[in-house]
Amino acid sequence: MYDRLRIEGHPWNHKRVYRVYTSLKLNLRRKHKRRLPHRPAVPMSIPLAPNQMWSMDFMNDSLYDGRKVKIFNVLEEFNRQALCMEVDTSINSKRVIELLDRLIEKHNKPLSIRTDNGPEFMSNIFLDWCHRRKIYHQFIQPGKPVQNSLVERFNGSYRKEILDAYIFYSLNEFRLVTENWKNEYNQYRPHDSLKGLTPELYLINYNNENNN
């Protein structure tokens, strides 16, 4: 900028140009795109038992007044069960860990989890938690959501049937409709991939077969 001003014939020195530049609050930090580590392509395989793989993802929406809303979804890949659909204005890594600890108390610990490269999943606090829990954390490749296709398909159904269909005026309303949809999805919606059973029925049948 200083060199251009000199070319245009202005006599101001470098210090004066910089004072004006900063007084106009133009000296903003340049944001650099974060360089993601290399992620190997890992072919998806359907788990043969519960708690072999949970897949997780975030979704975004907004209330009528413009407030941003995040939805944290956790899917059990064995029977496609929605284990968690947490709705809030902000969900950080610490909150994710708290939610997963509750799920582990209820459903036992998964061997592996699959996520994208979002900041909540790449934070040191979350990676340390996975290490302490001895849970293998599988990242998908950047820009390859198809590598997390089960939760992405689940997200698509939820967006089409709820997020695109309703206008929410409060967080409580958002949570209530989401919880009702999750229960309907788990208890009453059959899946072709589950032999025409619902996620909960498929798990019940599996447990009965393996307990006999």
Instruction: Mark whether 155 and 69 lie in a shared domain.
Output: yes
Instruction: Mark whether 59 and 141 lie in a shared domain.
Output: yes
Instruction: Mark whether 17 and 110 lie in a shared domain.
Output: no
- Residue 35 domain-assigned? no
Residue 139's DSSP bridge partners are 115
Q: With 60 as the cut, is the pLDDT of residue 151 above it?
A: yes
Q: What is the pTM of this model?
A: 0.80
Residue 116, domain extent: 53-211
Instruction: Mark whether 11 and 78 lie in a shared domain.
Output: no
- Residue 46 domain-assigned? no
Instruction: Mark whether 90 and 25 lie in a shared domain.
Output: no
pLDDT of residue 10: 86
**pLDDT tens per residue across span 37-92:** 666 666 677 889 999 999 999 999 999 999 999 999 999 999 999 999 999 999 99
Domain at 204, CATH number = 3.30.420.10
Quick check: 149 and 140 in contact, CB under 8 A? no
How do 53-62 and 81-88 pair as beta strands? unpaired
Q: With 60 as the cut, is the pLDDT of residue 101 above it?
A: yes
Share of the chain above pLDDT 90, in %: 73
Please give the Cα distance from 114 to 148 (Å, whole number).
Answer: 7
Quick check: 181 and 168 in contact, CB under 8 A? no
Q: With 80 as the cut, is the pLDDT of residue 117 above it?
A: yes
Quick check: 84 and 103 in contact, CB under 8 A? yes
Give helix 149-158 / helix 171-188 axis angle, nearest 10°.
120
**pLDDT tens per residue across span 12-45:** 888 888 888 888 877 777 765 566 566 666 667 7
Quick check: 93 and 123 in contact, CB under 8 A? yes
pLDDT of residue 74: 98
Please give the Cα distance from 124 to 119 (Å, whole number).
Answer: 10
pLDDT of residue 72: 98
